[in-house]
Amino acid sequence: MSTPNVEAVKLDELNCWRIRHGQAELLVAQQGAHILSYQVAGQPPVIWLNDEAVFKTGKSIRAGVPVCWPWFGNFERNPQSVKAMRVSQEPAPAHGLVRAMDWELGGIEAEGESLKVEFLLPYPEGGLPGWPHQVDLKLSIRLDSQLHISLTSHNQGAETVTISQALHSYFAVSDVRKVHVEGVNGLSYIETLEDWKTKSQTGDLQFTGETDRIYLNAPAKLSIVDPAWERRIELTSTGSRTAVIWNPWVDRAAALSDMADDGWQRMLCIETANVMDDVVALKPGASHTLGVSIGSKPL
């Protein structure tokens, strides 16, 4: 059994941990239980740590794997069942309420040849701001030959609670113009850049401009094929039937203060999600786990 090496580090205002286990290195922030980077020794990074990311208390981080919960994306684009959960009249922040909150570190421990890291976000008295529901959250990270991430929501209250959510993973690529995504051929998707029309995918997804698509009834397995880096990143999801694929391209990246103008070339988001008709209704006492396993293989 290998002994993990855990180092507490500070990135500007945020408390983080750099965790080394076997050949893998993980960087994770307490704020948002946010995985910032993941890399295997001698290989390019798998999870993208944005050079221009801002590490400020209370500000969400554009990098790594943000946790989007209890709604995804633009609040007003969520189904009515999700919007009904919120009682505030204030503008709703994109991607929910927990990305910029400090989570409790539940523990870092070896389990055989793997390493488990756990973060907890018990519901505060009265619930989250404008969202008065008794749902506990747990983010579990497991490192073995892959990176396994799971987000479990447990409804401790007396009413059914409906959520949308995502593990908003940013993947590192050699050049997004030269990679493609396998596993989407034949899927229906919502083209958010064309008035949210529903379209059908033909062949693998290649990137020639800004991309923001919600793939419906997605398979458990998707792959990013990166010939320049001679590798395939494989994603295997659980508890999800939707995948959001996003790249800001030139103009959108230039408008983002926390991304380099050419940062779009080096990243690609494939988000393991529960959105649109795939939202989660948690009955009293029920739990749901959204998960993704991420591994890299040579081509």
Give the model's pLDDT for residue 102: 95
Give the model's pLDDT for residue 35: 98
Q: What is the pLDDT of residues 156-196, one digit of tens each?
A: 999 999 999 999 999 999 999 999 999 999 999 999 999 99
Catalytic residue annotation = 168, 271
CB 99 within 8 A of CB 66: yes
Domain limits, the chain: 5-298
d(CA 209, CA 199): 17
d(CA 67, CA 86): 18
Is the pLDDT at 1 greater than 80, yes or no? no
> Which string of DSSP letters, residue by residue, matches 139-170?
EEEEESSSEEEEEEEEE-SSS-EEE-EEE-PE
Q: What is the pLDDT of residues 203-235, one digit of tens each?
A: 999 999 999 999 999 999 999 999 999 999 999
Find all residues with CB under 8 Å of 262, minimum gap 6, and list them.
Answer: 253
Q: Which residue has the higher pLDDT, 22 or 280?
A: 280
* Percentage of residues of the chain with pLDDT beyond 90: 94
Give the model's pLDDT for residue 168: 97
Average pLDDT over residues 232-250: 98
Nearest to 226 by CA among 180, 294, 271: 180
Confidence at 36, pLDDT banded by 50, 70, 90 = very high
Overall pTM surpassing 0.85 (yes/no): yes
Confidence at 65, pLDDT banded by 50, 70, 90 = very high
Bridge partner residues of 198 (DSSP): 190
Give the model's pLDDT for residue 5: 87
Give the model's pLDDT for residue 77: 96
Give the model's pLDDT for residue 4: 72
Confidence at 125, pLDDT banded by 50, 70, 90 = confident
Confidence at 127, pLDDT banded by 50, 70, 90 = confident
Task: Provide CATH code, domain 5-298.
Answer: 2.70.98.10
Give the model's pLDDT for residue 2: 58
Confidence at 85, pLDDT banded by 50, 70, 90 = very high
d(CA 71, CA 76): 10
Provide the 10 A C-beta neighbour count for residue 160.
14
Average pLDDT over residues 91-110: 94
Mean of pLDDT over the chain: 96
Confidence at 3, pLDDT banded by 50, 70, 90 = low
List phi, psi (to 5°) of 110: -80, 140
CA angle at 254 for the pair 248 and 258, rounded to the nearest 5°: 85
Give the model's pLDDT for residue 121: 95
Give the model's pLDDT for residue 173: 98
